[in-house]
Amino acid sequence: MKKVKVEEVKSGLTNRRNFLRLSGLAIAGTGLVLAGCSSDDDGGTPDAEQKPGIRGDKFDLGGGDLGILTYAYALEQLEADFYTRVVNSNTFGSTFSGEEQEVLADLYRHEVIHREFFKAAISGVITDGSQLLPNLEFDYGNMNWSSRTMVLETARTLEDTGVAAYNGAGRYITTPDYLVLAGKIVSVEARHASAIRSLLNPGSEDFAGDDVVTAANGLGQAKKPSAIISAVSALDIIQTPFTAKYLP
């Protein structure tokens, strides 16, 4: 079997950017489908005590499909906020090349679409507005928005975490429409991760490195919600406390 060289499989930055843009448009078109689902859909409906909402003094993400959607919404809030800050930084234009700016701007647009996608989806199925996760607050500590390496490495961490989160949560989604749409989103998130990795180390195999794609079976990492929440909490970026008592 012919060994494929990295140069034969890697895309140019411009082609990758165009592909990312088309992927985002496809996701934008699916939002209305999920938002139109009713609360009477079969499968994944948690018991009343497992619905998302305030328990004690903290918001709990809840269980069942609605809990998974809320969990994804929390992650998308984080990614959307991060890229919003990146593209609105005073040094954005001087820190990144023109093509890099276009890639990051596309990622920003995608993540905002994803965030609003889940907000609309959850709003369409909950019976009480208090069951919607509030807008989270974020603090990036000593993040230097003028450091290309620091920004891209943070983006890589967030994107890799997002892919592992969707891959790991898929097994717990019981409503077929939700599973299909989550699959579409994770495919875009994987492209994001690949694009960021290519920016950090162009011309290398890092776009699908062994740290995210296992050599044994060629599959991406998959982590349970509890593992992802622990990893994200360790970053100390999300400042709004919440619990996830009913997620695996």
Read off the pLDDT band of 217 (50, 70, 90).
Answer: low
Closest CA to 194 of 154, 232, 156: 156
Beta bridge partners of 53: 60
Summarize pLDDT for 23-69 with one digit per residue, the tens: 444 444 444 344 334 444 444 455 666 899 999 889 999 999 999 99
**Weakest-pLDDT range from 15-24, 36-45, 77-86, 202-211:** 36-45
17 and 106 in contact (C-beta within 8 Å)? yes
Closest CA to 186 of 201, 203, 199, 173: 173
Is 60 exceeded by the pLDDT of residue 179? yes
Summarize pLDDT for 140-161 with one digit per residue, the tens: 999 999 999 999 999 999 999 9
Q: How many domains, in total, are found in the chain?
A: 1
40 part of a folded domain: no
Closest CA to 82 of 204, 238, 228, 248: 238
CB count within 10 Å of CB 154 equals 19
Return the structure tokens found at 190.
Answer: 């994987």
Task: Name the residue type at position 153.
Answer: E
Domain with 124 in it: what CATH number?
1.20.1260.10
38 part of a folded domain: no
- Eight-state DSSP code of residue 129: G
Angle between helices 13-35 and 176-200 (to 10 degrees): 160
- pLDDT at 232 (0 to 100): 96
Contacts of 128 (CB under 8 A, 6+ apart): 53
SS3 (DSSP) at 243: strand
- Structural domain containing residue 236: 12-31+46-243
56 part of a folded domain: yes
Summarize pLDDT for 109-131 with one digit per residue, the tens: 999 999 998 999 999 999 899 99
Q: Which of 62-66, 198-202, 211-215 has the highest mean pLDDT?
A: 62-66
5 part of a folded domain: no
Contacts of 60 (CB under 8 A, 6+ apart): 52, 53, 54, 242, 243, 244, 245, 246
SS3 (DSSP) at 42: coil
Q: Of all residues in the chain, what percent are helix, strand and coil, respectively (each to 5)?
A: 60, 5, 35
20 part of a folded domain: yes
Closest CA to 153 of 199, 215, 118, 97: 199
66 part of a folded domain: yes
**How many Å apart are CA 216 and CA 210, to the nearest integer?**
10
41 part of a folded domain: no
